[in-house]
Homo-oligomer: A and B are copies of this chain.
């Protein structure tokens, strides 16, 4: 009686998780967090219309969701001025990144990303046997020119850019990304993760032709739309690539209520404007709290703020742990030199009161 015969690749992988969830930490701590500011969730929540749509759809949850995501793709196509054939809907950007990597990357294939960028993308690349090449941030921003040069040098099949960036919150103008794409090597696909773009300044979304075969843009309902727990992401790309997802995706994988919620959320521009305002105000307050404590907030186009703690990773880690001890769920960048920072998601006024209260003593203890 022996164990299952895993593939050599599966055998080589660690059983890991890109992020430890706050619930896991709460179970380890033995008590809940008082403020949830670590996962870039949107505490301002989804449109009331989206909530109502999801609750109404619960009565129909005995039915599988539409595997074509027809209505949502039609609405997204309209919103983006393109066709449903340019849109793939999936179980969050995480799910779509997994499918995308699977379509392109096998053992020995090369992929380029920034050192310290989104670990779940790296998880998928490793998971399909790809080799990651990492390019450093420049001034805490991803560096498209260097990323594309590295992609050319290593013959990468895929290069990843998040704009705005996570975990730093920095950004490029969309037109700059498009201009930089002139140097994207032939046969290398750019995956442009725009998860946070709805709360970024005008002009951050890359003005890409949806039929451009060089790029797929990833969007989500998890951030500004406030539906992280629903799992709805989408990709915008040329029809050939969109159609390729049908070779590998979990066709009946979408939650039916989530489909309905996303559709309703997309139609509530007023709520989106409200959330944008709340996010902007919370960003300002986080920055103010940082400065009040002698720290340096980075400019942010996202729903979080990276705070430079002014010393090394060890110190930032100490500050982080002190905040966690004080009941605040927060995270920090994984790689140097960005790991001199901690990362605070936008919270309610009461969440940020708790941050303002905890930070001085957290810093004092970390220094002491």
A-side interface residues toward B, CB under 8 Å? Answer: 1-10, 13-19, 21, 23-24, 27, 36, 39, 41-46, 51, 54-55, 57-68, 70, 91-92, 94-95, 98, 102-106, 109, 120, 127, 157-158, 186-187, 189, 212-214, 222, 226-231, 238, 240-241, 243-244, 246-248, 250-258, 261
Contact = CB atoms under 8 A, between A and B. Distances in A.
Given A51-B58, A104-B6, A63 B19 contact: no
Nearest to A13: B247
A7 B252 CA distance: 24
Nearest to A157: B5
Count this chain's copies in the assembly.
Answer: 2
Contacts of A46: 61-62
State the majority secondary structure of interface residues on A. loop
A253 B2 contact: no
Contact of A102 (B10, B45, B64, B67): B10
Contacts of A9: 106
A250 B104 contact: no
Contact of A18 (B60, B230, B251): B251
B14 A187 contact: no
Q: Which of A109, A231, A240 has the most CB of B within 10 A?
A: A231
A182 to B, nearest CB: 11
A229 B63 contact: yes
Contacts of A67: 17, 19, 21, 24
Interface centre among A2, A7, A92, A229 (most CB of B within 10 A): A229
B106 A241 contact: no
A247 B18 CA distance: 10
A269 B318 CA distance: 48
Given A2-B213, A10-B244, A45-B59, 20 more contacts: A1-B186, A3-B238, A4-B187, A4-B241, A5-B189, A9-B106, A14-B247, A17-B67, A21-B64, A23-B66, A24-B68, A39-B64, A41-B62, A41-B64, A46-B62, A51-B59, A58-B257, A91-B91, A230-B256, A255-B257
